[in-house]
Amino acid sequence: MLKIVVGSPRLRSFAVVSEPPCCTGGDAWRVVEDRDGVEVYWSGRKLFSMRIATWERGVEIAHTLEGDEHVYGLGEKYAHLDRRFKRFHFWNVDQTVHLPSGDPMYKSIPFYIVAKPGKVYGVFVDYPGYLYIDTGVEHLDRIVIRVGAGYAVLYVFSGENLYEILDAYTRLTGRPFMPPKWAVGYHQSRYSYASQDEVLRVAEEFRRRRIPCDAIWLDIDYMDGYRLFTWSRDRFPDPRGMIEKLHSMNMRVVTIVDVGIKEEKGYHAYDRGVELNAFLRTPDGELFRGGVWPGLCVFPDFLRSSGRRYWAQRLAEFMGVGVDGIWLDMNEPAIFYMEKPFRSMVAEVSKRLIENDVEGAGNHYFWRARHLIGTTSVGKGIGMVDIPAVHLDDDGGEVRHSEIHNAYPLLENEATKMGFEIARPGRRWFILTRSAYAGIQRLAAVWTGDNQSDWGHMAISIPMLLNLGLSGVPFAGADVGGFGDDVDPEMLVRWTQLGAFYPFFRNHSSKGTRRQEPWVFGEPWSSYVAEAIRLRYRLLPYIYSMFIEAHRSGKPVIRPLFAEFPQDEQSYVVEDEFLVGPSLLVAPVLTPGARARAVYLPQVRWLDLWSGEVLEPGWRLVEAPIDRVPLFLREDGAVVTTEPRSSATEPWGTVTIDVFVGRKACAVLYDDDGETADFEKGRFFEAKVCIERRGGDAVIRVEELHMGYEPGFSKVRIRLLGSPWVERVLLEGEELRVYRSGKAVVAELGIGRLTASQQG
Ligand code: GLC
């Protein structure tokens, strides 16, 4: 890693958690000054030339791009997989316009990866105020970065492959947190389930229909007048009882927690915050106020530790009734209006109207209104208005909000995690956040905000989530079925088939739209939706093992094709299919009426998991009837599955390793208690099981083994697919009894037998 500092940074970094002691990067890096700037080399190879200048608001940095290089990452952007030839703003807003022109969005992660066959590097621009990154509009062959400050801090990462870049970046900014097992299951949400009876009815319906589901989500209407940390007495008279009942059904509860605290004397969260001086102020020293759901609100100052403690305490008390997870929303922070400018705008518009200056009034309204809804953006670059608030740091120093705007939600997430530590020490936490800054992966899962029930939004969710993974944030999802507008039956089926592979899998929809639970369209649709959810639960052992891998090394759970096939030029741009882990290729159907689709299969042979057919690499047309999402297993790859249960926390019983062996394929069996942080102390089970072809023999070996935990499965089934060559299956020289099922050869054995083979 190479660190480049321009000027003198005014503030500490919020993203960086552990910086290696020496940041000039060691021997592999070479920086050579030329006339206009510097040339940066890694391992003898030139990465780029860089020039440093100024623009009207601060530092400008530009570096070269080669003609055939692609750009990825940059967090959450409504844009395609390859982010070259675009312009992006970094300023968290409540983005209601999910369109290319609706940039910026909720999250700001100024980290990107430049890649082509044989070359890959990453750049992280660590500045949490306003930033602009142009990936080839102003200059075809350059990236231009404009920082809204007179200083800049850049980290450059290089390595042999993409994963080394993500490893280094997540070492710097924090490893992805390991979620509890239930959070990897299916989540059901709605804005809003309006009463505790309704919540229980929905939960019971899942269990009655045997559709797996791990959590029910409560949106803003559970609160009393949208006051944070309260429950509506009429609609949720007994939250503890409701949650106990849900827990007895093995169902968890996640509640939304916005960030604005209603300004109201006598309301405990407000009073306590005032007492502790925990809120943001204006430059004049008054409380900073902005309108959100409950009306005028004040906002916690998460920059100082007392503000974070205030929040953590409120949250921990609130969670006391048994809440399992916290959903942080509106935390850009989103503010619908700010009181003073709003009043002056209304006065000005009224005056012009009285003077009969209709056009003037209209113009004034149009422009002022855009600036008033300071943090709700209405279009490209517009609406990125400063929030005139002031933070205090722990030494009492003042920091303008605009200097750290994008880090505000990150600090809120830190405080929220502290709340979990108070409420349930030693247990894993679960936070979902809408807004974020670089480093968020160590604290929370993310979702892409208010999309629409629209095929285009469904399709773009793939490059959006893939790029979040390439920005260090593996645990990400989009609202399955779409948030705004009305879903139709086919879209709900296809979106659930896709969502089953989102790392974060939640169905959520807005008030005023048609209901979107799996059963709303009746048969045959509800069976298709249910089957797609069950598919997720079949794949849990594989997906869960990808989460631990992400936690250890920053590897994304879902990956673009080029991550695994960097020599394959085509795989750098395909964005309507993706890999889950290294071995499973998913090609979801993204258009109505389609019952087949073109699939690009990179570089190796692939096994069609539905037909059992072996396919050569290249473009193929595959069948995709309505009840099926095309899935392919890589040659020399493996996936681990189980029978679906109602909850992800139920023991797996038997796991099946599906392998397609060319020469040798390995599967990882991983399990832990799914609840506590004990896995960090070695309490987990992990075995790397490999199957190698030797002539007509398939030879099984356990290559690595960690036995710190008794896994929730006792039987392992090994299913050899696409392998007509198999005559015998051997374990330690002994031939195992096998049977044939369709085209597969199957061997079954107890976990003890398998692991003893390695120990022995
Ligand atoms: C925001 C969130 C959405 C939520 C709604 C009501 O629009 O993005 O998910 O349902 O607020 O809380």
The pLDDT value recorded for residue 379 is 55
Q: Is 366 helix (H, G, I), strand (E, B) or coil?
A: helix
Q: What is the pLDDT of residue 34?
A: 86
Q: Using the structure block, give the residue that is written with the tokens 């030139």.
A: 46
State the burial class of residue 7 (Cβ atoms within 10 Å of its Cβ: 0-12, 13-18, 19+).
Answer: middle
Question: Per DSSP, which regions of 382-529 are E strands?
Answer: 390-392, 398-400, 431-433, 436-437, 445-447, 476-477, 505-507
Measured in Å, residue 265 CA sits from the centre of ligand 1 at 26
Residue of the CA atom closest to atom 4 of ligand 1: 191
Mutation probe of ligand 1 site: the residue of 326, 329, 331 with most atoms within 8 A of C-beta: 329
Contact by Cβ (8 Å): 121, 160 = no
Determine the residue of 93, 97, 330 to mutate for testing ligand 1's pocket, defined as the one with the most ligand atoms within 8 A of the Cβ atom: 330
Rounded to whole angstroms, the Cα distance separating 322 from 332 reads 27
Q: Assign 3-class secondary structure to 76-137.
A: CCCCCCCCCCCEEEECCCCCCCCCCCCCCCCEECCEEEEEECCEEEEEEECCCCCEEEECCC
Which residue out of 190, 228, 450 has the highest number of ligand 1 atoms within 8 Å of its CB and is therefore the one to mutate? 450
Residue owning the nearest CA to atom 5 of ligand 1: 191
Contact 1/155 with Cβ under 8 angstroms? yes
CA distance 693 to 159: 32
Helix H or strand E segment including 393 = none
Residues 76, 332, 531, 635: which is the catalytic one? 332
Outline where 511-662 has alpha helix (H). 525-538, 540-553, 561-564
Ligand 1 proximal residues by C-beta, below 6 Å: 191, 219-220, 256, 329, 434, 449-450, 483, 508
Cα of 119 vs centre of ligand 1, distance in Å, is: 41
**What tokens does 577 get?**
């299919």
Contacts 24+ apart (CB under 8 A), 527-532: 527/627, 528/493, 528/496, 528/626, 528/627, 529/211, 529/492, 529/493, 529/496, 530/209, 530/210, 530/211, 531/627, 532/493, 532/496, 532/497, 532/499, 532/500, 532/629
Ligand 1 nearest-atom number relative to CA 450: 8
List the strands of the sheet with 2-6, edge to edge.
2-6, 152-158, 119-125, 111-116, 70-73
Tokens of 508: 């959520």
Chain centroid to Cα 321, Å, comes to: 28
Say what the pLDDT of residue 384 is.
61
The atom of ligand 1 lying closest to the CA of 219 is: 12
| Contact (Cβ atoms closer than 8 angstroms) between residue 727 and residue 709 | no
CA 645 remoteness from chain centre: 24
> From ligand 1's centre to the CA of 213, what distance in Å?
21
Cα torsion angle, 7, 5, 111, 545, sign? negative
With tokens 């759901």, the residue in question is 293
Ligand 1 centroid–CA 484 distance in Å is 10
329 catalytic residue (yes or no): yes
The CA angle 74-76-81, to the nearest 5 degrees, is 70
Task: In whole angstroms, give the CA distance from residue 624 to residue 599.
Answer: 11
Going by C-alpha positions, the residue among 249, 229, 225 that lies closest to residue 239 is: 229
Q: What ligand 1 atom has the least distance to the C-alpha of 330?
A: 1
Residues 651/712, Cβ–Cβ less than 8 Å: yes
pTM of the predicted model as reported, rounded to 2 decimal places: 0.96
Closest-CA residue, ligand 1 atom 7, reads 450
CA of 321 to the centre of ligand 1 (A): 23
Distance (angstroms) between ligand 1 centre and the Cα of 284 equals: 32
Distance CA 433, CA 330 (A): 9
Cα–Cα distance list, 307 to 273, 329, 392, 402, 488 (Å): 8, 18, 10, 18, 45
* Segments of 374-480 assigned E as strands: 390-392, 398-400, 431-433, 436-437, 445-447, 476-477
Distance 329 CA to ligand 1 centre (A): 7
- What pLDDT is attached to residue 99? 87
Q: Which of 483, 485, 513 to mutate to test the pocket of ligand 1 (most atoms within 8 A of CB)?
A: 483
With tokens 């040798």, the residue in question is: 664
CA atoms within 13 A on the CB side of 469: 31
What's the farthest any 2 CA atoms get from each other in the chain?
96
Query: 174 with 554: CB under 8 angstroms?
Result: no
CA of 375 to the centre of ligand 1 (A): 15
Angle between helices 305-319 and 408-423 (to 10 degrees): 50
Distance 99 CA to ligand 1 centre (A): 18
480 forms beta bridges with 507
In the block, tokens 């890999």 appear at: 579
If residue 38 lies in a helix (H) or strand (E), which one and from where to where?
Answer: strand 38-42
CA distances from 143 to 138, 478, 706 (A): 9, 29, 45
Pocket test for ligand 1, best of 94, 219, 376, 451 (most atoms within 8 A of CB): 219
Alpha carbon 661 to its chain centroid, in Å, reads 32
Give the Å distance between the CA of 417 and the centre of ligand 1: 21
Atom of ligand 1 nearest to the CA of 191: 10
Distance between CA 430 and CA 14 in Å, rounded?
Answer: 21
User: Mean pLDDT, 10 residues at a time, over the chain (760 residues)?
Assistant: 95 92 70 91 96 95 98 97 96 88 92 98 97 97 97 96 98 98 98 97 98 98 98 98 98 98 98 98 95 95 97 98 98 85 81 89 70 53 74 95 96 98 97 98 98 98 98 98 98 98 99 98 98 98 98 98 98 98 98 98 98 97 98 98 97 97 98 98 98 98 96 97 96 95 94 84
How far, in Å, from the CA of 569 to the mean position of ligand 1?
Answer: 39
The Cα–Cα gap between 614 and 633 comes to 9
Residue (of 190, 183, 254) closest to 508 by Cα position: 190
Both tokens of 649, joined, read 């926390």
Buried residues in 49-71 as b, exposed as e (16+ CB within 10 A): bbbbeeeeebbbbbbbbeeebbb
Give the active site residue among 167, 219, 263, 329.
Answer: 329
Give the three-state DSSP class for 740. Answer: strand
Q: Do 534 and 641 contact (CB within 8 A), yes or no? A: no
Q: For residue 498, how far is its CA from the centre of ligand 1 (angstroms)?
A: 22
The rounded distance, in Å, linking the Cα atoms of 550 and 475 is 9
Q: Residue 510 CA: which ligand 1 atom is closest?
A: 10
**Catalytic, out of 60, 301, 412, 450:** 450
Distance, CA of 371 to CA of 366 (rounded, Å): 9
- The radius of gyration of the chain's CA atoms, rounded to the nearest angstrom, is 26
For ligand 1, what atom is nearest to the CA of residue 256? 12
Amino acid (one-letter) located at 220: I
User: Exposed, middle or buried, 180 (CB in 10 Å: 0-12/13-18/19+)?
Assistant: buried
Give 318-329 as a DSSP string: HHTTT--EEEE-
Helix or strand (DSSP H, E) at 11:
none
| Tokens 């395609």 belong to residue | 80
* 450 Cα: distance to centroid of ligand 1 (angstroms): 7
Q: How far apart are CA 515 and CA 486, in angstroms?
A: 8
Residue 258 C-alpha to ligand 1 middle, in angstroms?
Answer: 9
User: What is the crossing angle of helices 339-354 and 358-372, to 10°?
Assistant: 170
**CA angle at residue 328 from 215 to 189, to 5 degrees?**
30
Looking from the CA of residue 220, the nearest atom of ligand 1 is 12
Question: What is the three-class DSSP state of 399?
Answer: strand
